[in-house]
Amino acid sequence: MRIDQVVVSASPGDAITNFALTLRQLLLPDARSDVFAYYYDERLASEIVPLSEYGARPGARKDRDLLVLHVSIGEPAVADFVLKRPERLVIIYHNISPSEPFRPYDPGFADLLDAGRDELKRLRPRAELVLADSEYNACELRDLGFEQVDVLPIVANVEDLRDTEADAALAERLRTHHDGPVILFVGQLLPHKRADFLIEAFHILSTYRMRDANLVLVGSHRLPGYAGALQSQIEELHLDRATLAGSVSKPMLAAYMRRADLFVTASEHEGFCVPLLEAMAFDLPFQARRFTAIPETAGDAGLILDADDGPAVAAEAWAQLLTDEPLRKTLVERGRVRLAAFEPAVTKQAWRQALLGLARLA
């Protein structure tokens, strides 16, 4: 039995790539599973198979083999390929970001996002099993006409990061160079994540409330135009204690998480929000905003601002979370409880059963 997986793009550190590789490992005792990608980073050459080689594998058995498609963006070539394959189709929906925030920076990429939703509609009649990793994502699919969508809890593996030894040189520099509280954001610097909102809130915090506070934004600069605008924003506001750290290794991320006093995100679109679970794993209180799947991910473990709360309220919330010890303690305890719902042993088993269950129904 084969349960092969297809992703549009695979790169190191990418959450969907990591999830596909985890799934491959989970299925291995019962099914062979390769991960194919249309675009992929050379550093993953030993893990990922180019989609162009899919045809080179032994012929598929229409009644038994599964093809699992991870959907997070559109790519007409991939959709066309999947529609021609005889295997039974499984769709795992990780959410497609809205295109509007991307359009000023990369219209081509925005078009691909729009195409993704159209492709989902084309794939719908072929899908035998549709899985989503949050109720919010499931709702989106139902709005697109999918009748039966199952929600499975995400396999987050945050313990892996928590147990990673921190990069010693970075940890030392953070200790000696950041004398005030450190506020941390982790995530790709993309327009819908609203790092510009965080910088505005930090400007208010550091100008009027806590001059010694530091803001560190960790994450890859996927859109150079947006990252450059953020850099200009920081420089023009003279925020010498705000840093764009860029993409970092796992030991470096562990160093940032251990040094941080508060985790923040202003994201306006998340199909799920793994960094919130990572914050919980490091006993970090966090602040987020009431958008899409964020309240569902956070539960009662964080301070969630309403969508229309501006940067001044965010700055006030940060000051409160940095100084109110009983509040911090309460949120950390709630975070530990919330994190237990994503126990990897349980979530992995759920995904394994869902896929193998369908395969064995043949």
Interface of this chain with other proteins, residues 184 to 203, rule: CB under 8 A: 196, 199-200, 203
Token pair 């928590």: residue: 162
Q: Which is nearer to other proteins, 234 or 284 (CB)?
A: 234
Sheet of strand 66-71: strand arrangement: 48-50, 35-40, 3-10, 66-71, 88-93, 127-132, 150-151
H or E element in which residue 7 lies: strand 3-10
Between CA 159 and CA 343 the distance in angstroms is 9
Q: Report the DSSP pairing between strands 127-132 and 88-93.
A: parallel
State in angstroms the smallest separation of the CB of 216 from other proteins. 8
* Residues in 313-352 that interact with other proteins by CB under 8 A: 313, 316-317, 320, 327
Please identify, among the stretches 15-23, 150-158, 222-230, 271-279, the one whose residues bind other proteins according to the rule CB under 8 A. 222-230
* Residues between 125 and 154 that touch other proteins (CB under 8 A): none
312 near other proteins, judged by CB under 8 A: yes
- Say which amino acid occupies 53: E
Identity of the residue, 312 or 341, whose beta carbon is nearer to other proteins in the bound complex: 312
From 63, 143, 147, 236, residue interacting with other proteins (rule: CB under 8 A)? 236
- Does 77 bind other proteins (CB under 8 A)? Our answer is no
Could you tell me which of 154, 187, 138, 161 has the C-alpha nearest to residue 22? 154
Closer residue to other proteins (CB): 155 or 248: 248
For the CB of residue 334, give the shortest distance to other proteins in the complex, in Å: 10
Size of the site for other proteins (CB under 8 A): 72
Q: Which two tokens stand for residue 38?
A: 């249309």
Would you say 116 and 339 are in contact if contact means Cβ atoms under 8 Å apart?
no
Pick one of 1, 15, 34, 41: the residue that binds other proteins (CB under 8 A): 41
Among 8, 210, 303, 359, binds other proteins (CB under 8 A): 303
Residue 222 three-state SS: coil
User: Least distance in Å: CB of 265 to other proteins?
Assistant: 17
Q: What angle in degrees, to the nearest 10, is found between the helix axes of 344-360 and 15-27?
A: 60
How many other C-beta atoms lie within 10 A of the C-beta of residue 29? Answer: 8
Nearer to other proteins, 26 or 298 (CB): 298
Q: CB 273 → other proteins: shortest distance, Å?
A: 18
CB of 196 to other proteins, least distance (A): 5
163 interacts with other proteins by CB under 8 A: no
- Cβ(133)–Cβ(155) under 8 Å? no
| 224 lies in the binding site for other proteins (CB under 8 A) | yes
Place of tokens 């691909």: 112
The verdict on 276 binding other proteins (CB under 8 A) reads no
d(CA 22, CA 111): 30
Angstrom distance (rounded) from CA 102 to CA 116: 14
Whether the Cβ atoms of residue 16 and residue 38 lie closer than 8 Å to each other = no
CB 73, CB 113: distance < 8 Å: yes
- Contacts with other proteins in 239-258 (CB under 8 A)? 239-246, 248, 252
Question: Residue 356 interacts with other proteins (CB under 8 A)?
Answer: no
Instruction: Decide: is 107 part of the binding site for other proteins (CB under 8 A).
Output: yes
Q: Give least dist CB 13 to other proteins, A.
A: 15
Closest to 68 (Cα-Cα) out of 114, 15, 21, 6:
6
Q: How far is the CB of 248 from other proteins (least distance, A)?
A: 6
Report the nearest approach of other proteins to the CB of residue 203 (Å).
6
CB of 8 to other proteins, least distance (A): 12
